[in-house]
């Protein structure tokens, strides 16, 4: 069997790779751990109401491998930290490429006190 190596060519790299909007690189940001970061303006958090005695936790599984199992583990941890029973409202997307509909989001917002979603790689 004869295997021949080839040199990478320009078509092996996407157009505009590493450049914003395909243009020239105009700025390089260097992060230095020996220099303090500039102060960041504080942000006021939105007011939160207390959870009811038996809260409903909404979970949106995005179809990735083991997503449901990870979300179930998070719910179990929240249940343990709250020290009380919780109800769980599940919504499963067929894959990460799909978004939930406005109707599904409205239903989840009405039924759940807390919603967990947004698993990524």
pLDDT tens-digit series, residues 6-52:
555 555 555 555 555 555 667 888 888 888 878 888 899 888 889 99
pLDDT, position 106 = 94
Query: In angstroms, how far is the first alpha carbon of the chain from the final one?
Result: 38
**Is 80 a member of any domain?**
yes
pLDDT of residue 3: 55
1 belongs to a structural domain? no
Specify if 104 maps to a domain.
yes
**Given this model, what pLDDT does residue 81 score?**
95
Containing domain of residue 82, as a range? 56-116
The answer to whether residue 72 sits within a structural domain is yes
**Structural domain total, the chain:** 1
Tell me the whole-structure pTM to 2 decimals.
Answer: 0.61
3-state helix, strand, coil in the chain (%, to 5): 25, 10, 60
Q: Does any domain span residue 67?
A: yes
- Determine the pLDDT at residue 115: 93
Looking at residue 82, what is its pLDDT?
94
Q: pLDDT tens-digit profile of 60-106?
A: 998 888 888 899 999 999 999 999 999 999 999 888 888 899 999 99
Residue 100 lies in a domain: yes
Segments of 5-101 assigned E as strands: 56-61, 87-92
pLDDT of residue 80: 96
């Amino acid at each position: 069997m004869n295997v021949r190596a080839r040199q990478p060519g320009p078509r092996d790299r996407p157009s505009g790779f590493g450049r914003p909007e395909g243009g020239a690189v105009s700025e390089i940001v260097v992060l230095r751990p020996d220099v303090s970061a500039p102060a960041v303006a504080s942000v006021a958090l939105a007011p939160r109401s207390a959870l009811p005695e038996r809260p409903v936790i909404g979970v949106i599984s995005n179809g990735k491998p083991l997503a449901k199992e990870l979300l179930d583990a998070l719910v179990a941890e929240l249940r343990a930290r709250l020290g009380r029973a919780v109800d769980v409202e599940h919504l499963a997307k067929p894959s990460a490429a799909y978004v939930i509909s406005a109707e599904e989001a409205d239903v989840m917002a009405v039924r759940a006190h807390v919603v967990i979603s947004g698993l990524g790689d």
